[in-house]
Amino acid sequence: MLYSVINEFPVNLLYPKLTHHSMFDVQKIRELFPILHQNVYGKPLVYFDNAATTQKPLAVIDAVSGYYKTINSNIHRGVHYLSQKATLSYEEARKNVCDFIGAAHAHEIIFTRGTTESINLVAGSFGKKFIGKDDEIILTGMEHHSNIVPWQILCEEKQAKIRVIPVKDNGELDLSVFESMINTKTRLVAVTHVSNALGTINPVKKIAATAHRYNIPLLLDGAQAVSHMKVDVRDLDCDFYCFSGHKIFAPMGIGVLYGKEAILNEMPPYQGGGEMIREVRFEKTTYNELPFKFEAGTPNVGDVIGLDVALKFFNQTGISEISSYEKELLLYAEQRMNTINDLRLIGTAKEKAGVISFLIGNIHPYDAGTIMDKLGIAVRTGHHCAQPLMERFGIPGTIRASFAFYNTKEEIDRFINAIFKVKEIFE
């Protein structure tokens, strides 16, 4: 077994013994997240902004710190002790990410800075080779800007076109028009797995089956999915899957692009520089094999190790237990909110994960969010980097509460009380 720096930490720190959902001990879980135990404006913090970024368990914080304390070194080409240990930890993390998302091969895992860079990599590499004049890319009306703008830039350069699957009033995709949009010029379908603004879980297996009937590759933006459900890229049969570490309890600045081996081998390098080369001559440079062809420059070793520990922590807690508990939180919050006059939920899809978007009467989301903040409640307000979606609903933005497995029903009760306080102030 490859040596990893995380083995230097006590087992009970990395993988605390947690009960199954029938005895889900959320208080024990919360003890592992130092940031949650503080006051904001004299009130205990309620952190409901998990769709923006999740908090980090002590195991992850200590793993990153431990890397810099004990084996900080550049990797892959060093023959000395620290470099060898760092290299082994880095590549073991790649294997663990491969297992976590059910990929076939570790070399199908590309480390990036996050979901945004992963999508830009596909746009800059796949798009460069396979998208041409008058070709079409299919997106949806609920995409994050990071799954819109890279394709717009590509289409402007290539004189290609974007087509958009519409969103129904309840926040679900209107797939009845999807297949009619596909034609001989369609080159890619790019879809969010879970909407960051609505929480809608999209039927991505059905979308994959439709796309592949026409031999069209599918990219999934999984930024909001990986922390709420089991992701198996081979079961989903997507061609690309992108996610960010900081959405699943890992550090910021590290992300993953999964791509099927065959398609990655056909794609040209995204950036040039160290690591992605085999040999450099002024006459010609030859490129490295997967995954290194797409990892130019000095890698973010410390945060890769942090990601590795976060995914192990997540697995040890239990993905099915986490998913079940979060569904309880979501249902509890929605039931309580549905009893409040003048409160409008934006996005009422049958299948949702971890997000409630809403408006309170005619109160501006920013004003409501500011008052909630003074009460110790952290929510997100605005368009959530989904302006076309807000325009589709005819609103400037929403208040968004997003949950993680360390949140509680008691926190939801405080959140509901804060909504009533907002209403009281504006009446």
Task: Write out the catalytic residue numbers.
Answer: 385
Asked whether the beta carbons of 406 and 332 are under 8 A apart, the reply is no
237 Cβ contact list (under 8 Å, min separation 6): 205, 208, 209, 212, 218
E-state strands within 222-354? 240-244, 255-259, 277-280, 285-287, 343-345
349 Cβ contact list (under 8 Å, min separation 6): 170, 171, 172, 198, 199, 200, 201
Query: Distances from the Cα of 305 to the Cαs of 76, 93, 158, 185, 309, in angstroms?
Result: 15, 6, 38, 42, 6
Query: Distances from the Cα of 235 to the Cαs of 49, 132, 139, 238, 402, in angstroms?
Result: 30, 30, 21, 8, 27
SS3 label, residue 320: helix
Q: List phi, psi (to 5°) of 219.
A: -105, 130
**How far is residue 287's CA from residue 275's CA, in Å, rounded to a whole number?**
9
Q: Count Cβ atoms within 10 A of the Cβ of residue 1 and give its class: 0-12 exposed, 13-18 middle, 19 or more buried.
A: exposed
Nearest to 317 by CA among 228, 408, 185, 425: 228
113 Cβ contact list (under 8 Å, min separation 6): 253, 254, 255, 300
Other CB atoms within 10 A of residue 379 CB: 23
SS3 label, residue 161: strand
Q: Count Cβ atoms within 10 A of the Cβ of residue 37 and give its class: 0-12 exposed, 13-18 middle, 19 or more buried.
A: exposed
Query: Residue 203, preceding bond cis, omega within 30 degrees?
Result: no
